[in-house]
A = this chain, B = another copy of it.
Amino acid sequence: MDMRSKMIRMGQEAREASRTLARTPTDLKNRALLGMADELAARKDLLIRENARDLAAAREQGLSKAMIDRLTLTEATIAGIARGLREVAALPDPTGRITSMERRPNGLLVGRMRIPLGVIGIIYESRPNVTADAASLCLKSGNAVILRGGSEAIHSNLAIGAILQEVLRDLALPQMAIQIVDTTDREAVHEMLQLEEFIDVIIPRGGEELIRTVVRDSRIPVIKHYKGVCHVFVDESADLDMAVRICMNAKTQRPGVCNAMETLLVHEAVAAAFLPKVAAELGKAGVVLRGCERTRAILSDIETATEEDWSREYLELILSVRVVRDLDEAIGHIERYGSLHTEAIVTTHYERAQRFLAEVNSSTVLVNASTRFSDGFELGLGAEIGISTTKLHAFGPMGLEELTTSKFVIYGNGQVRM
């Protein structure tokens, strides 16, 4: 069978499965999730064996140690995957909920009900734990899923997928509700992105290049975020000790993730007091600073930040620093160079706090807290399928609710339109 026909068949089978899944009661979905957790844990030897094939190929291709770490399945990571599935089983089911119900003047009772999106396509890179994690969130929210992981993880992903499908089959649930693309051929991704009729949304998870390719190729709506150029603005009224703690956490607690701070903005009135203080702490943690001219007038031993620095997502221990005149200049900088991801202000001033929250239209805005809280679990969503920095459908961290949409349900008693 050629690639197009193969992918169309996967799409059709997913669509078919999604109809059954949309009607599957919550308790049966939960039994499937718990069964999957048990089976993955019980079959850890098989998973580690299949993972070893991926690891061997990765070493042969000379993948970096970091890449190989992300790819590796151990007894502990498998236990973590199983725990994740059990946590998803414990979350409330977002589907079927009536979010409003109002009586119209003509007597019609008009309500809105959350329903699954239908079929979700996930395109991701090398971590095999995403396979089980994403599949579990889709299943819980009543969606079928087609997963296309990185070629480095193909054997691990297929082994996980086979176990998940087996559990579905044992419970008489449609096994095509979870499908893994079983080829590393890139043509498969291209064909998958044409399945407008069978896939309702594509969620790419990976580097900016992967995401740009998906957006360019796809006829299906894509929920994505390219990068996180997150800012912390230290206002003139800030508690400077708090500001240091927040900056340290935002930059160094986990520098390689999208909600880490990449640019620090400092009000000119506190620059002389704050910059040496924060630079000393950041320096101890190994952070290299790049500053604007006004920053360098205070911290003379740092490099100059170039125009490109202001929009860079370093994902490592580098931080660009700018001194700004006031809140307006800070907001202007964020609008110009930011990525709509996450921004924080540190201030004790009531009005500026409120203005920052109201006027900065990034997906997450915080007062007096670290940017690292921009995360589905931390914000109370119970789970995270990804983060969106495009405003359509979802903006910011996405949980189970974001894998649903709502339809109008209307109770009448013979109404016709005049």
Would A246 and B416 be within 8 Å (CB), given that A378-B104, A380-B102 are in contact?
yes
Indicate if A239 sits at the interface (CB-CB under 8 A).
Answer: yes
Q: How far is the CB of A214 from chain B (nearest CB, A)?
A: 11
How many copies of this chain does one complex carry?
Answer: 2
Q: Is A216's CB within 8 Å of the partner chain B?
A: yes
A76 contacts the other chain (CB 8 A):
no
Identify which of residues 404-418 in chain A touch chain B, using a CB-to-CB cut-off of 8 Å. 405-417
Contact B396 A408, beta carbon cutoff 8 Å: yes
A401 to chain B, nearest CB (A): 11
Task: Please state if A367 and B411 are interface contacts (CB–CB under 8 Å).
Answer: yes
Cα(A411)–Cα(B335), bound, Å = 21
Majority SS at the chain A contact face: mixed
User: Which residues of B sit under 8 angstroms from A412, Cβ to Cβ?
Assistant: 366-369, 373
Q: Given A357-B409, A405-B395, A414–B117 Cβ distance below 8 Å?
A: no
Residues in B neighbouring A248, C-beta threshold 8 A: 416
Which among A55-63, A80-88, A309-317, A385-393 touches the partner chain? A385-393
- Chain B residue at minimum C-beta to C-beta distance from A96: B358
User: Which B-chain residue is minimally distant from A369 (CB atoms)?
Assistant: B412
Judge whether A44 is part of the interface by a CB distance below 8 angstroms. Answer: no
Using known A-B contacts A374-B408, A396-B407, determine if residue A413 contacts B380 with beta carbons closer than 8 Å. no
Partner of A367, one of B357, B367, B370, B410: B410
Residues of B within 8 A of A123 (CB): none
- Nearest CB in chain B: distance from A129 CB, A: 21
